Amino acid sequence: MMEDPLQPWRQQDLDLTGLVEAAATLLSRCAAPADERVSARPDERTVRYYQTLGLVDKPSRYEGRVARYHLRHLLQVVGIKLLQGHGLGLSQIQGSLAGATDAELEAALLQQLGVSQVFRPPLPPHPRPARRLMAVELTPGVQLLLDPDLVPDPELLIQRLSSALSGGTP
């Protein structure tokens, strides 16, 4: 299985400098822009400009005066640079990226990186297989649901509970 190229940034909380460095790292793995007028890597000023245009989401939060960014921001910045490299203007890119989900941005980037498999964070372990449960009506309006694999003698338990509910002695 191939290494996930986005793994270093999946859970990262980046400042603007870190965001620019991460974008440069990813863009260095992609083909050089076909349009020579486009810089291959963004700088901090460019990312701020993209934010004012609405191409990049606002920072996730601020720590004092330091803006914090996440994977989505990184995907947006890299996506913009890749589309610019293919000759699209910022207004065209704005239309292309409007409403794009993280998964769509990620898939497009991975395709550019030549990675055939879309990586996802590991799924939680599968739940236990379904058990064969017993449902018994002890009295009108009272039902018992039990797992016969965990109850040593389900029939005896049902008998005692039914007796107790009907006023008998267990």
pTM of the model: 0.66
Alpha helices in the chain (DSSP H): 16-28, 44-53, 71-85, 90-97, 102-112, 154-165
Residue 84 has pLDDT above 70, yes or no: yes
Are 107 and 146 in the same domain?
no
Highest mean pLDDT of the ranges 125-129, 137-141, 155-159: 155-159
pLDDT band at 129 (very low <50, low <70, confident <90, very high): low
CATH number of the domain to which 95 belongs = 1.10.1660.10
- 125 vs 33, which has greater pLDDT? 33
pLDDT tens by residue, 22-73: 999 999 888 777 667 778 789 999 999 999 999 999 999 999 999 999 999 9
pLDDT of 93 strictly over 60:
yes
Return d(Cα 94, Cα 56) in angstroms, integer.
Answer: 9
Q: Is 12 among the domain residues?
A: yes
| Domain of 145, in residue numbers | 134-165
Q: Which residues of 90-119 are buried (b: 16+ CB within 10 A; e: fewer)?
A: eeebeeebeebeeeebbebbbebbebeeeb
The model's confidence at residue 151, banded by pLDDT at 50, 70 and 90, is: confident
Residues 82 and 155 in one domain: no
- Is residue 131 predicted with pLDDT exceeding 60? yes
Q: Does residue 13 form part of some domain?
A: yes
> Picking from 5-9, 72-76, 107-111, 126-130, which range would have the lowest pLDDT averaged per residue?
126-130
Q: Based on the domain organization, do 93 and 160 belong to the same domain?
A: no
Same domain, 64 and 146: no
Can you tell me the distance from the alpha carbon of 21 to that of 33, in angstroms, rounded to the nearest whole number?
A: 18
pLDDT at position 70: 94
Query: Is 98 contained in some domain?
Result: yes
What percent of the chain has pLDDT above 90? 35
